[in-house]
A and B are shown apart, each in its own frame.
Chain A
Amino acid sequence: MMNGETIVFYLLAALTLVSALMAVTSRQIFRAAICLLLSLLGIAGIYFWLRYEFVAAVQIVVYAGGIAVLIIFSVFLTQRSGEDLPRQSRARMLSAAVAALTGLGLVMLQVLRHRFSGTTNPAIDNGVSAIGRRMLGVGEDGYALPFEVVSMLLLAAMIGCIVIAMRSKTKSS
């Protein structure tokens, strides 16, 4: 039985998969970036479909608004971005395909093993305040430690950026 929700899900899934496939097969780098963006937006759409609005919005802010724009910017700054990319060697394509298929296989294995059953538990509260509390909570289901560790990683990356930028300046002067 196809009801509205299933149709929407399949449309979003098709958008995500097709544009992801086009992102890896397109030989124009800018088009590949746009396809990647569409694929990320499709995933955001699936989050919306699941009513995880917060995650969906964060997906759009971080991936579509941040990372995709950054990728497009670096495409702009590279030379000859309008030309076709050279065709990859057969060995490379093969190894990439094997890697991708292995990942897919592992995920499928888990999905097929898991027995999906209906539950009567109340739905998880996905309000923003609940997310915030868990993100900074130190109790049983709090994520304060991983959150802080990730922010340490970001800090390290930022310091690294500054160090790189500073060094090139002193050299030139």
Chain B
Amino acid sequence: MWSFSKLTDLIHAWLYETFSPAWALALEMVMVGVAAIGLFAMLGLVLVIMERKVSAYMQIRLGPNRVGPKGMLQSLADTLKLLVKEGMTPNGVDRVLFNLAPLVAMIAAMLLLAPIAFAKDFQIWDLNIGVLYITAISSLNVIAILMAGWSSNNKYSLLGAMRSGAQIVSYELSAGLSILTIVVLSGSLQISDIVTSQSNGWWIFKGHIPAIIAFVIFLIAATAETNRAPFDMAEAESELTGGFHTEYSGMKFALFFLAEYINVFVVCAVGATLFLGGWMPLHIGSLDWFNHAMDYIPSSIWFFGKTFFLIFVMMWFRWTFPRLRIDQLLTLEWKYLLPIGMVNILLVTVIAILKWHF
């Protein structure tokens, strides 16, 4: 299978030959940082235009179609507009926290990128608690929203922040439980272990019905955790005029916007890694000729294909379902998803102990 490890090893060796170890390490960090920021910018542009096009076609509209071929440069134009807009700080806000909040949102989103395996042997930091790390860092996201909501000194912002706090804190539970099912099946928290454990089939196929239930719960909880419709209580344009980012404009608003899309990408990447095998091509048991044929497709294409499929599903949710009321939202979590998730993890544990999975 084609792998990035040769390329990265080459760069690594060359850097350590030419520079002292400390400088080489620093240079590698800079390279990773630049690559991450570049990925962010690309993702922001691609996901925004994708969202607008998908939403348009689902609502029998055309969507942006004036800037560039078929409107594909629309998000670039929007970004330019946001860049040159004045970064307003309204009177009466808590200046420090108001300006800090978008940065915190962005940093939390950036930290999430570290353990994600983008292709075979292409990962920033393969730490041994990968999945737990993602769960932990994604809980920081709510802090940024709470900060923005409180420091804006605006009742809509505050209401949006409180709603999103209640929402994220409760949906983290079922997201965690559905992640745990895969951890139980694969027996490791490390992302690379989880991916290699799916070399003879993805967990959604190998784990029988409980894995599928866990996948559905994960999708719902991920949609809720990223504050997207039908769970966009934090923004809820028609009720809260934008929720926690009501007072934000220009680049600060753009950072929140970008952070939201990065979070969407990251949760979808995690979902693809856990349930759909990450960069692992579609393998069926010991059907060797089929597996070899699949290996010819590069692993990065598999990863991004699965991730963007999940992103598309989340957009499909967003443009189909109406927004839930806050009590319906909490009922869904505490009365449906959480009990089902708990029974489900019990079933998965039994399956894992008795080795009933393939």
Contacts and interface: CB of A to CB of B under 8 A. Distances in A.
Interface residues of B, number: 32
Interface residues of A, number: 28
A69 B128 contact: no
Given A61-B136, A73-B162, A128 B147 contact: no
Looking at chain A's contact residues, the main secondary structure is helix
A135 interface: no
Looking at chain B's contact residues, the main secondary structure is helix
A121 interface: no
A54 B158 contact: no
A37 B143 contact: yes
Contact of B162 (A30, A60, A68, A76): A76
B142 A65 contact: yes
Interface in A21-64: 28, 30-31, 34, 37, 41, 53-54, 57-58, 60-61, 64
Contacts of A57: 129, 132-133, 135-136
Interface string A2-30: 01100000000000000000000000101
A34 B97 contact: yes
A122 to B, nearest CB: 17
A54 B135 CA distance: 12
Contacts of B94: 28, 30-31
A157 B283 CA distance: 48
Rank and list the top 10 A-B pairs by shortest CB-CB distance, nearest first.
A65-B139, A60-B136, A57-B136, A57-B132, A61-B136, A53-B129, A72-B146, A53-B127, A54-B129, A57-B133
Given A31-B96, A69-B142, A72-B146, 13 more contacts: A53-B127, A57-B132, A57-B133, A60-B139, A60-B140, A65-B140, A66-B169, A69-B143, A72-B165, A75-B150, A76-B158, A128-B132, A128-B189
Interface of B: 22, 25-26, 94, 96-97, 127-129, 132-133, 135-137, 139-140, 142-143, 146-147, 150-151, 153, 158, 161-162, 165, 169, 172, 187-189
